[in-house]
């Protein structure tokens, strides 16, 4: 076997076990891309298109770092984002007369310590269902996010929250005066970094290159080039918590900008946003904890994020290593209940790190 064949074999077994129809991966080490590859097909049909290293995926919650957190980092770097600013100063409608909500800061939203709930099926809310148009449904859903009661006091615990990142995205828009996240993330993140395969609302001519997913809960259909996350789709397919489509090569370019700080991102910015705040949570980012979906070999100075569709990006800032793994696990017939990816991810990461000569758990 060549050096990365073990990792590819792990993914091939994942396809055989129907953890996902196919996968693409990309590895960055010591300043260069050292491996790309793919296994499987877009679907389980024998005549389905084969996955390619440059296949584009709905990256789901990896949006939180590639778009929303990256934008927050750039704004903090340019002294436009005061992390301790109360959210209510930007979004007065967030308060709802709850004194605890006045204590929620932008930093808490980034660190998932705001006290907001993890998730709500916004598309099932009566006011959303009763809305007369897609625009009215989106407005009703956003209002519901602002009005969402806190489950615990701000700062009391870390609770991963899609709702928090929906609110964060809107707060960043108010802060910057931008019309929408699609435009400002393209201008401030994707275009400067040369991420030509990353965007919200991908153009129709990209669709043959996009791995299909499925919505098993709301739209009940196969999706190709449309966001899988139901709440994001309801909000117009552009949100702080999900909605971006990207490729392995673009994710590596983004990772490189963090590893090679003092360029697009300054070292001080990367150090601040990668520092743990609560549990494994840093500002916008997650970090390895035992057991971790990153496997056993990423150092303590590593950051990453997972995506519900079966995507992930992990970056070892100490060693200068990044691994992007992209799958379309939610296409699989068992849908969201398919958890095979949880076994595949760490095994794949361990195989790649071993191929890179990393053999000691340094967390």
Residue 1 has what pLDDT? 45
Residue 311, SS3 per DSSP: strand
pLDDT higher than 70, residue 190:
yes
Instruction: Find, among 332, 311, 341, 295, the residue nearest to 55 by Cα.
Output: 311
Confidence category of residue 337, pLDDT binned at 50, 70, 90:
low
Q: What is the pLDDT of residue 113?
A: 98
- Where does 132-242 have alpha helices with state H? 134-147, 162-176, 181-185, 230-234
Tell me what pLDDT residue 333 has.
Answer: 63
Q: Could you say which architecture CATH assigns to the domain 5-62+194-355? A: 3-Layer(aba) Sandwich (3.40)
Rounded Cα distance, 113 and 14, in Å: 34
188 pLDDT higher than 50: yes
> Where exactly are the structural domains of the chain?
5-62+194-355, 70-186
CA distances from 59 to 76, 148, 162, 270, 297 (A): 24, 26, 14, 22, 24
Rg of the chain over Cα atoms, rounded to whole angstroms, equals: 19
Q: How far apart are the C-alpha atoms of 106 and 82, rounded to whole Å? A: 8
Q: What is the Cα–Cα distance from 17 to 9, expressed in whole angstroms?
A: 12
Q: CA-to-CA distance for 331 and 51, rounded, in angstroms? A: 14
SS (H, E, C) 51-79: CCCCCEEECHHHHHHHHHHHHHHHHHHCC
Q: What is the mean pLDDT of residues 334-360?
A: 86
Residue pLDDT, tens place only, 223-261: 999 999 999 999 999 999 999 999 999 999 999 999 998
Q: What tens digit of pLDDT does each residue of 11-55 get?
A: 999 999 999 999 999 999 999 999 999 999 999 999 999 999 999
- Number of C-beta neighbours around residue 267 at 10 A: 13
What are the distances in angstroms from CA 243 to CA 168, 224, 232, 331, 359?
A: 14, 13, 6, 17, 36
**Model confidence pLDDT, tens digit, residues 139-165:** 999 999 999 999 999 999 999 999 999
- Choose among 83, 101, 80: nearest CA to 92: 101
Tokens of 251: 């994710």
Percentage of residues in the chain having pLDDT higher than 90: 93
Q: What is the distance between the alpha carbons of residues 175 and 105, in angstroms, rounded to a whole number?
A: 13
Count CB-CB contacts under 10 A for residue 24.
27
96-110, pLDDT tens digit by residue? Answer: 989 999 999 999 999
Average pLDDT of the residues of the chain: 95
Closest CA to 243 of 230, 252, 253: 230
Please check the confidence at residue 362 and state whether its pLDDT lies above 70.
no
């Amino acid at each position: 076997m060549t050096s990365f064949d073990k990792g590819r074999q792990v993914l091939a077994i994942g396809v055989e076990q129907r953890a996902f129809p196919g996968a693409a991966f990309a590895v960055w080490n010591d300043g260069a891309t050292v491996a790309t590859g793919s296994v499987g097909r877009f679907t389980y049909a024998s005549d389905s298109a084969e996955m390619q290293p440059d296949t584009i995926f709905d990256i789901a919650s990896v949006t939180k770092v590639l778009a929303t957190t990256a934008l927050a980092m750039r704004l903090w770097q340019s002294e436009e984002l005061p992390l301790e600013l109360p959210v209510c100063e930007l979004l007065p409608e967030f308060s709802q007369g709850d004194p605890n909500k006045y204590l929620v800061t932008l930093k808490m939203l980034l660190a998932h310590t705001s006290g907001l709930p993890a998730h709500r099926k916004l598309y099932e809310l009566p006011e959303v269902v009763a809305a007369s148009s897609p625009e009215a449904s989106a407005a009703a859903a956003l209002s519901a996010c602002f009005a969402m009661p806190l489950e615990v006091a701000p700062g009391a615990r870390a609770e991963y929250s899609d709702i928090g990142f929906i609110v964060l995205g809107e707060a960043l828009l108010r802060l910057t005066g931008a019309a929408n996240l699609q435009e400002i993330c393209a201008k401030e993140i994707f275009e400067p970094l040369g991420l030509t395969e990353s965007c919200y609302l991908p153009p129709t001519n990209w669709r043959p290159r996009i791995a299909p997913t499925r919505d098993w809960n709301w739209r009940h259909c196969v999706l190709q080039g449309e966001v899988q996350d139901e709440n994001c789709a309801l909000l117009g397919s552009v949100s702080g918590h999900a909605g971006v489509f990207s490729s392995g090569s673009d994710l590596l370019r983004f990772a490189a900008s963090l590893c090679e700080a003092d360029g697009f991102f300054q070292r001080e910015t990367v150090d601040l946003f990668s520092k743990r705040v609560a549990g494994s949570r840093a500002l916008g980012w997650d970090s390895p904890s035992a057991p971790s979906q990153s496997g056993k070999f990423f150092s303590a100075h590593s950051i990453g994020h997972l995506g519900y569709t079966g995507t992930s990006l992990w970056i070892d800032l100490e060693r200068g290593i990044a691994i992007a793994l992209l799958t379309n696990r939610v296409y699989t017939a068992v849908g969201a209940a398919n958890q095979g990816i949880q076994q595949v991810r760490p095994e794949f990461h361990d195989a790649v790190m071993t191929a890179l000569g990393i053999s000691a758990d340094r967390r």
